[in-house]
């Protein structure tokens, strides 16, 4: 959990922005809600051009105090610092890459106190690159990272190509993107520019990949678009409604995707901040079992979907997702949907923060593009019944 600079700022980042981002996250509650990684994407480097022509150095104008000083500032304030590179001569934005210098760069990142590396292969290998080549590229950086005394989370980003989910963990990666870049859309017909995935595209992409994700090795559904409101400097898309952004956040929590805020935290409106700070929904995402929710019920027209995942305390998290254009009545039954022989169960709505006990399927109206996020527990026999309150 944390924040990434790219979606809002592209390569226009500097020391002052990153420190102010940390200060804001400390003061508005995001840090204490669990968002502790502050990740610099492309643009921190001094030089553009090939690594054969330039060393990999911090831009002295953008980051005059240096990267170790920034990492020290992060650690002193309860954060972890992430950085970006790629396996080519140049990165995706044309800055100096790490090709041929993996050992050197891993040691340098560790000496700075870096806690997370996004290693973006778009700069060296495209969609058609063979799997064997990509496995070797991932391994070339993971080996020196693992050799460092300072632990660094390794994000090997390959845009969901070459079936990366099948092999990235065995090559040392802790997370990998399951799809191409997300757009700032909830549901756009087709793919913008024949490339971008909207929220529902990404969710569908992950439905058959849940078995590859778990503690220490995660399917990454891409950065959160909550709060962008169509104003990203990098992403296409017209933005989404408050309900759609909240559904997006809810479903990323359900599928155990890394939660990286992509908007400017200094200007978040109250609703967006409340969405990102819901500790009960975050608890679903951060559950120690690390299970990704699966679809356990789908309506005839496929617009109504029930997702569920088991939690470490024996409860179940459930999302009732209405992808359609009309308000719909949806329900969840422990016997029907969870294969649990519960006679009575307690239901808590994690957005309304209200709960009640039931001995019949729990039924609720769900607005278009809304997800009702629930937590269900078995209730012992002879417990008193009560209405939702």
Catalytic residue among 11, 41, 59, 181: 181
Query: Taking a C-beta distance cutoff of 8 angstroms, is the pair 339, 376 a contact?
Result: no
Q: ∠ at Cα 157 (152, 161), nearest 5°?
A: 150
How many residues in total does the chain contain?
Answer: 389
Respond yes or no: is residue 269 known to be catalytic. no
Q: ∠ at Cα 198 (4, 2), nearest 5°?
A: 20
Query: Taking a C-beta distance cutoff of 8 angstroms, is the pair 319, 293 a contact?
Result: yes
Of 67, 76, 83, 81, nearest to 37 by C-alpha is 81
Query: Taking a C-beta distance cutoff of 8 angstroms, is the pair 85, 97 a contact?
Result: yes
DSSP 261-328: E-S-GGG--HHHHHHHT-HHHHHHHT-TT-PPPEEEEE-TTS-EEEEEEE-TTS-EEEEEEE-SSS-E
Which DSSP category does 250 fall into? H
Which DSSP category does 50 fall into? -
- SS3 state at 107: helix
Which DSSP category does 165 fall into? G
Respond yes or no: is residue 181 known to be catalytic. yes
User: Inter-axis angle of helices 67-76 and 102-112, to 10 degrees?
Assistant: 40
B/e letters for 66-95, b = 16+ CB within 10 Å, e = fewer, are ebeebbebbeeeebbbbbbbbbbbbbbbbb
Which DSSP category does 382 fall into? T
**Cβ partners under 8 Å of residue 157, min gap 6:** 118, 119, 120, 121, 122, 176, 177, 220
Catalytic residue among 11, 120, 222, 287: 120
Positions marked active-site = 120, 181
């Amino acid at each position: 959990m944390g924040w990434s600079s790219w979606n809002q700022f592209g390569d226009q980042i500097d020391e002052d922005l990153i420190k102010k981002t940390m200060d804001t996250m400390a003061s508005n509650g995001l840090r204490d809600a669990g968002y502790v990684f502050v990740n610099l994407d492309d643009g921190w480097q001094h030089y553009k051009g090939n690594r054969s022509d330039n060393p990999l150095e911090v831009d002295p104008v953008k980051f005059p105090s240096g990267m170790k000083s920034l990492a020290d500032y992060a650690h002193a304030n309860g954060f972890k610092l992430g950085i970006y590179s790629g396996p080519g001569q140049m990165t995706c934005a044309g800055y100096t890459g790490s090709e041929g210098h993996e050992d050197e760069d891993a040691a340098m990142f560790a000496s700075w106190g870096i806690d997370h590396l996004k290693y973006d292969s778009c700069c060296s290998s495209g969609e058609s690159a063979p799997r064997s080549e990509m496995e070797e590229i991932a391994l070339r950086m993971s080996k020196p990272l693992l050799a460092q005394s300072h632990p660094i989370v390794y994000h090997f980003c390959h845009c969901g190509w070459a079936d990366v989910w099948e092999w990235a963990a065995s090559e040392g990666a802790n997370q990998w993107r399951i799809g191409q870049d997300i757009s700032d859309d909830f549901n756009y017909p087709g793919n913008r520019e024949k490339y971008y995935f909207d929220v529902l595209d990404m969710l569908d992409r992950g439905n058959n990949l849940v078995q590859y994700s778990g503690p220490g090795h995660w399917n990454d559904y891409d950065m959160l678009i909550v709060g962008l409101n169509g104003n990203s400097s990098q992403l296409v898309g017209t933005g989404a409604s408050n309900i759609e952004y909240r559904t997006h956040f809810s479903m990323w929590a359900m599928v155990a995707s890394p939660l990286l805020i992509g908007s400017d935290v200094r200007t978040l409106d109250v609703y967006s901040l409340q969405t990102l700070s819901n500790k009960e929904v975050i608890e679903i995402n951060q559950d120690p079992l690390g299970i990704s929710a699966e679809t356990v019920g789908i309506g005839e027209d496929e617009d109504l979907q029930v997702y569920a995942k088991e939690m470490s305390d024996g409860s179940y998290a459930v999302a009732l997702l209405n992808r359609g254009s009309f308000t719909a009545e949806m329900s969840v039954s422990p016997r029907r949907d969870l294969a649990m022989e519960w006679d009575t169960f307690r239901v808590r709505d994690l957005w309304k923060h209200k709960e009640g006990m039931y001995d019949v399927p729990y039924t609720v109206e769900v607005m278009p593009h809304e997800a009702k996020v629930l937590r269900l527990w078995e209730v012992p026999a002879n417990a008193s019944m009560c209405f939702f309150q």
